[in-house]
Amino acid sequence: MATSSAPGKVYLFGEHAVVYGEPAVPCAIERRATVTVEKRADERLRVRAQDLSLEGFTVEYDGSTAGTPEVDVTEDLVEAAMGYVDEAIAQARDAADAPNAGFDVHVESSIPLGAGLGSSAAVVVATIDAATRALGVELDREEIADRAYQVEHTVQDGQASRADTFCSTMGGAVLVEGDNCERIAAPDLPFVVGYDGGAGDTGALVSGVRSLRETYPFAADTVESIGDLVEQGIDALEAEDTTELGRLMNFNHGLLAALGVSSRSLDAMVWAARDAGAAGAKLTGAGGGGCIVALDETDATETALKYSPACAEAFRAELDTEGVCREQ
């Protein structure tokens, strides 16, 4: 039996513009998915998933790799997560040269699903690491990140970026430029996350930005401006200048709003955080709904968000520097 955990992430800067080759900085956060894998005597795959975030629920899934799938899930998002587990197990079987290995898999996650916090990447990374170890193979982090990316690429029909899986595997602040990802220096970042309880449609939001960019020169300039702002953000990270980081987050949110990817609830949470004294606040991920991220060393932002009608859940989730962890 092996247990691994892996963190979720927020975008400090650069979502959407990264689709057009601009740099972006996702950061791993201290909210994890934990996956326990036990090898079975037969070839079956049984998955039990527990969502420990907002409205926690448990589902069981009798995997598709041996015989007919018997899926009894009521939550679409959890059903989608099962697809990720299936593909992660396929990668583990391939890595360990054990195509017929069967497993019992138990997934526990405190990362809200589909809300821009990289929940699927965390589950995939932890599953690959735990399942390969259950088969007696220890992969290095580069291979885990690469195999986890292959999983997201397959499940998301070729649309995935390497950002989430790399960030979850390596931890820390990551600079993404095109297909290249590397860890960069960062101080402790006092992240506070506000979650509206919903989720945006990433595909539709990315297409919306594409058509805006093709129609209006201002939108193309806005995408470029986000890239310029990210370069300044990297300098602020190096200088450990939290005030400047917050200011740049505020600018980044404004530019994302100009691209049409914010929402009433995201804007309300951003303003609740700023009014509470956060150094800065912005939406994180595709937008349209889901999460905002703020920087605040005090408890004021978390408390203010909890009282904001737009916010379903608020929590502190500081920068994670460990990435994937072998728990057992």
CA distance 144 to 140: 6
Choose, by CB under 6 A, the member of 161, 168, 222, 242 that binds ligand MEV: 161
Q: Is 52 annotated as a binding residue?
A: no
168 binds ligand MEV (CB under 6 A): no
Q: Which helix (H) or strand (E) holds 50?
A: strand 45-51
The single residue of 164, 196, 296, 320 carrying the catalytic annotation is: 164
For ligand MEV, the closer of residues 34 and 284 by Cβ is 284
For ligand MEV, the closer of residues 219 and 286 by Cβ is 286
In the complex, minimum distance from the CB of residue 19 to ligand MEV, in angstroms, rounded to a whole number: 5
Instruction: Calculate Rg over the CA atoms of the chain.
Output: 19
Annotate 108-150 with DSSP letters as a single string: EE-SPTTSSS-HHHHHHHHHHHHHHHHTT----HHHHHHHHHH
Only one of the segments 14-22, 65-73, 294-302, 305-313 lies at the binding site for ligand MEV (rule: CB under 6 A); that segment is 14-22
In the complex, minimum distance from the CB of residue 14 to ligand MEV, in angstroms, rounded to a whole number: 8
- Given 3-state DSSP classes, what are the helix, strand and coil percentages for the chain, each rounded to the nearest 5? 40, 25, 35
List all residues 6 or more positions away from 76 whose beta carbon is below 8 Å from its beta carbon.
none
Q: Which helix (H) or strand (E) holds 110?
A: none
164 tagged catalytic? yes
Choose, by CB under 6 A, the member of 2, 18, 121, 144 that binds ligand MEV: 18
In the complex, minimum distance from the CB of residue 239 to ligand MEV, in angstroms, rounded to a whole number: 26
Choose, by CB under 6 A, the member of 98, 206, 258, 300 that binds ligand MEV: 206
Task: Show the CA angle centred on residue 211, arms to residues 209 and 216, nearest 5°.
Answer: 90
In the complex, minimum distance from the CB of residue 94 to ligand MEV, in angstroms, rounded to a whole number: 25
Q: Is 116 annotated as a binding residue?
A: yes
For ligand MEV, the closer of residues 56 and 203 by Cβ is 203
List all residues 6 or more positions away from 229 whose beta carbon is below 8 Å from its beta carbon.
13, 248, 251, 252, 255
Q: Of residues 234-253, which lie at the interface with ligand MEV (CB under 6 A)?
A: none
Biggest CA–CA distance in the chain, Å, is 60
Annotated binding site: 112-122
The residues of the shown chain that bind ligand MEV, judged by CB under 6 A, are 15-16, 18-19, 116, 161, 202, 206, 285-286
